[in-house]
Amino acid sequence: MILSIESSCDDSSIAITNIEDNKLIFHKKISQEKEHACYGGVVPELASRLHAIDLPNILEETKPYLNKLKAVAVTNQPGLGVTLLEGIAMAKTIAVVQDIPLLAVHHLKGHIYSLFIEKEAIVPLLVLLISGGHTQIIRVEGLEKMTILATSIDDSVGESFDKTAKMMGLGYPGGPIIEKLALNGDENRFKLPVPLRNSPLIAFSLSGLKNAVRLTIERLGGDEGMSHQDQCDLSASFQKAVKLHLIQKSKKVFATEPIKDFAIVGGSSANIYIRKAYEELCKEFGKTLHTAPLEYCSDNAAMIGRYAVEAFKKEMFIDPYQIDIVSNKKRQSGTEL
Ligand code: KG4
Ligand code: ZN
């Protein structure tokens, strides 16, 4: 079995995965959303302190499995430095004390492997990753060959949902709040710009849309001047603009990428409205759409464990005395993840 730890942002999570059949033996996640809600976003220092409390509490529950471990895995990039270090400290301690190998897992590769929890992996695969930190289309040809085909030049999709909710004086995370309000909204009431609509760039951009949302809120009298219907209509109009942007740029990638299997992963892939749009797009292009179960879209250790099973088989181990966080480099389109 492999014990995996995730602490890259505001979720403390530990999983235990069976190496032989990918079976998830144990999985627990403690989310800090409530603690960060009043700030409208994640406060790194607070997140790190909460991991220091929650991770050991979860680890306590894994005691029955500790003598069956063949390896321990931990997210070491990308993410918040101070929160990644909490998971890393725990993982390297287990590796040294139990004398088992350590695996360092790239969080975004973990999101991709959320598709394969308790399943066999599908490769090659085209993936749209939409999370709180990233918006990318990635060509996955193997564990070590993942190429970024398109990326955001500014904000990410999840971040734009969070900021839109924050500007309307709603809670955090914004994604589920906006999606729910949009169900009762008129998506055609506000004419928001579809980002990079007339640009040949195969890239994503969300900051201009965010600014248009801000100006609309100001015209409506600020967050306190908005009625509930205004909130619903703006949520729906915003979500529609995000969808049109994602679909337009994905079409450009689809036009040149023959890979038949396509997937959406990351926190924002839980959005049913966006999923539906991709179901139609995949039908049009003859592709098969894959998504992770809703519970594994946002950050979790089960996806880190699933990737770690593959990495274990390739013996991609790291010296516990050498493991460190990897600084967040902005990776360009055409480069490896
Ligand atoms: O993947 P994730 O848990 O963390 C990162 O790796 O960043 O993604 C969190 C993001 C948040 O920005 C949250 O607002 C967004 O996922 N999210 C959603 C939905 N549920 C979560 N965005 C749109 N619609 C949703 N239903
Ligand atoms: Zn994530």
User: Which residues approach ligand 1 with their CB closer than 6 A?
Assistant: 9, 131-133, 158-159, 161-162, 173-176, 179, 266-268, 270-271, 298-299
Same domain, 113 and 149: no
Per-residue confidence (pLDDT) for residue 332, from 0 to 100: 85
pLDDT confidence tier of residue 331, bands split at 50, 70 and 90: confident
State the helix-helix crossing angle for 272-285 and 228-256, rounded to 10 degrees.
30
The answer to whether residues 130 and 275 belong to one domain is yes
**52, 195: one domain:** no
What mean pLDDT comes out for the span 136-154? 96
Domain assignment present for residue 319? The answer is: no
Q: Work out the pLDDT band at 141, boundaries 50, 70, 90.
A: very high
Residue to probe by mutation, ligand 1, list 268, 272, 273, most atoms within 8 Å of CB: 268
List pLDDT tens digits, range 127-138.
999 999 999 999
CB count within 10 Å of CB 162 equals 27
For the chain, how many structural domains are there in total?
A: 2
pLDDT band with cut points at 50, 70 and 90 for residue 116? very high
- To test the pocket of ligand 1, the residue of 12, 80, 161, 269 to mutate (highest count of ligand atoms within 8 Å of its CB) is 161
Ligand 1 binding pocket mutation candidate from 107, 298, 300, 337 (most atoms within 8 A of CB):
298
Report percent pLDDT > 70 for the chain.
100
Burial of 157 (C-beta count, 10 Å sphere; 0-12/13-18/19+): buried
Distance CA 313, CA 298 (A): 26
Query: Per the domain annotation, does 305 fall within a domain?
Result: yes
Q: Distance of CA 150 to CAs 29, 104, 132, 204, 331, Å? A: 31, 25, 16, 7, 10
Are residues 155 and 112 part of one domain?
no
Query: Tokens standing for 181?
Result: 């309000």
Whether residues 71 and 141 share a domain: the answer is no
The verdict on 14 and 76 lying in the same domain is: yes
For β-strands 71-77 and 145-151, DSSP reports them as unpaired
Q: List pLDDT tens digits, range 259-303.
A: 999 999 999 999 999 999 999 999 999 999 999 999 999 999 999
The reply to whether 110 and 78 lie within a common domain is: yes
pLDDT grade, residue 2 (50/70/90)? very high
335: in domain:
no
pLDDT-derived band at 122, boundaries 50, 70, 90: very high
DSSP label at 191?
Answer: -
pLDDT reading at 334 higher than 80: yes
At 67-94, the pLDDT tens digits run 999 999 999 999 999 999 999 999 999 9
* Percent of the chain at pLDDT exceeding 90: 95
Examine the pLDDT at 330 and tell me if it is beyond 80.
no
**pLDDT (0 to 100) of residue 333:** 87
Instruction: Give this prediction's pTM.
Output: 0.96
Q: Using CA atoms, how far apart are residues 24 and 193, in angstroms rounded to an integer?
A: 43
Q: Are residues 102 and 322 in contact, defined by beta-carbon separation less than 8 angstroms?
A: no
H-helix or E-strand spanning residue 159 = helix 157-167
Q: Is 189 exposed, middle or buried (0-12, 13-18, 19+ CB in 10 A)?
A: middle
Residues 81 and 49 in one domain: yes
**Phi/psi-derived region of residue 125, left when phi > 0, alpha when psi is between -120 and 50, beta in every other case:** beta
Tell me, yes or no, whether 278 lies in a domain: yes
Residue 179 lies in a domain: yes
Query: CATH no. for residue 67?
Result: 3.30.420.40
Distance from the CA of 60 to the center of ligand 1, in angstroms?
28
Cβ atoms 149, 138 nearer than 8 A: yes
Assess contact for 88 and 325: CB atoms under 8 A: yes
Is the N-terminal amide bond of 173 cis, ω within 30° of 0? yes
Alpha-carbon distances, residue 258 vs 125, 126, 141, 251, 254 (angstroms): 10, 9, 13, 12, 7
Residue 65 domain-assigned (yes or no): yes
The per-residue pLDDT for 136 is 97
Residue numbers of the domain that contains 303: 2-117+296-313
**325 domain-assigned:** no
E strand or H helix at 261: strand 261-265
How many Å lie between the centroid of ligand 1 and the Cα of residue 20? 31
- Within a domain: residue 105? yes
Pair 70, 132 in one domain: no
Euclidean distance between CA atoms 255 and 232, whole angstroms: 34
Whole-number pLDDT of residue 41: 83
Whether 100 and 182 share a structural domain: no
pLDDT tens-digit map of 13-63:
999 999 999 999 999 999 999 999 888 789 999 999 999 999 999 999 999
Q: What is the pLDDT of residues 209-236, one digit of tens each?
A: 999 999 999 999 999 999 999 999 999 9
Torsion of CA 39, 45, 48, 49, to 10 degrees: -90
